Amino acid sequence: MQALEGIKVLDFCRNAPGMFCTMVLADLGADVLMVERPMDETRSAYEKLVAGIDGPDDERRHAAFNALQRNKRSIALNLKEPEAQGIFHRLAETADVVVEGFRPGVMDRLGAGYEKVKAINPRAVYCSVSGYGQDGPYSQMAGHDINYISFAGALGLIGPEDGKPSIPLNLIADYAGGGLCGAVGILAALMAREKTGRGQYVDIAMSEGVLYMLSGLVSDVLSRGISAQRGGNRLNGGAPYYNVYQTKDGRYFSIAAIEPWFWENLCRALELEDLLPHQDATGAKKAEVEGALTRAFLTKTRDEWFELLQDANISVGKVYSLEEALDDAHARARGMVLEVEAPGIPEGTVRQVATPVHLSETPGEIRHLGSVTGQSTAEVLEELGFDAAAVADLKLRQVVQ
């Protein structure tokens, strides 16, 4: 048994934030059905450009390796057609959750908005993951992760003090502010439904998710008028004891000797006891401390430093590439990389990252790999009562694919 077994999710997401949200639900046992638009020439060209997909074999291989598609089935509906909207409405009758990632208003125009779903199924939880939320001056504005973290105040805090902001991949807004906050909101709404018997609307704005994650720094601004500065805060490059240093082999090593006892252990391990009184030095003395640490770490390789310091009660880490992270002994011991059978592609197996939510009684798992567009269309329609002739007719008329 899995935690979300029996929960039916209709997934209208096309991009990482919503797809990650529904992946979290699927990994925990939910039956997720991707409701996709048919693969026409425009979409095919876009997929070829972004994912390198060139033909059915590439699409199958991409789906198998793409973790964001795993544990999900796919039905392709042309929602511009009333018949396709009718099929969605029938799916909505028994759905527990609907998740979409379009700009406000798009789902209403497709006959699949919240009010329509609520009228069909008052128990459904409906989640919209967007950049700026469903209302407000920016609600219709285009955006991506870099824009959302800009407006939330996060991007301005990342990078060197004397340089421009550094772009931290699309992890903060897309995956955390959007995907994770969306999953939390949906789970909370499902819990509330147990008490009220009713579903509700979950409005997730990625920009707000980022601001929420800055709550500690926001509290300093609101209570004391103290605003963090790029490269000046002790946790964003402003402190020698919480920083990254290059090692003898050209790699990098991180230290986080925030607590005084960690700092003392670090100084003694590096034979730099003269730095002990100067953990929070400023000005020229701070530069002196940083210079001493820089020179010290250049005397050994990254892995040599780890062997020396990992058990010294300091807080250290090797700065890994993704390949190294996947092959790390601790990650392997914790089962964070799984090998899954993948019939139909040349490799035969696929390695993917596991869920980090370790449930003792109802663990998450990869039940099956990702589906290509429309892979389950016939199966889902048959579950709704359509016979083979009706399915063939709908495909012929391009209502479904």
Known catalytic residues are 144, 174
Q: How far apart are CA 336 and CA 321, in angstroms?
A: 16
Handedness of CA 74, 76, 80, 84 (dihedral sign): negative
DSSP annotation of 102: S
H or E element at residue 21: helix 16-27
Residues 242/246/249/254 CA torsion (nearest 10 deg): 10
Query: How many other CB atoms are found less than 10 A from the CB of residue 279?
Result: 20
Query: How many other CB atoms are found less than 10 A from the CB of residue 50?
Result: 8
**CA 270 to chain CA mean position, Å:** 38
* Phi, psi for residue 272 in degrees, rounded to 5: -125, 50
Name the nearest CA neighbour of 369 among 8, 54, 23, 75: 23
The CA distances from residue 351 to 65, 68, 328, 330, 342, in Å, are 8, 13, 14, 17, 10
Q: How far apart are CA 241 and CA 305, in angstroms?
A: 16
**What's the order of all strands across the beta sheet hosting 242-246?**
242-246, 252-256, 316-318
Q: How many helices (H) and strands (E) are present in the chain, helices listed first?
A: 17, 11
* Phi, psi for residue 298 in degrees, rounded to 5: -75, -5
With beta carbons less than 8 A apart as the criterion, state whether 34 and 368 touch: no
Q: Which residues pair with 246 in a beta bridge?
A: 252
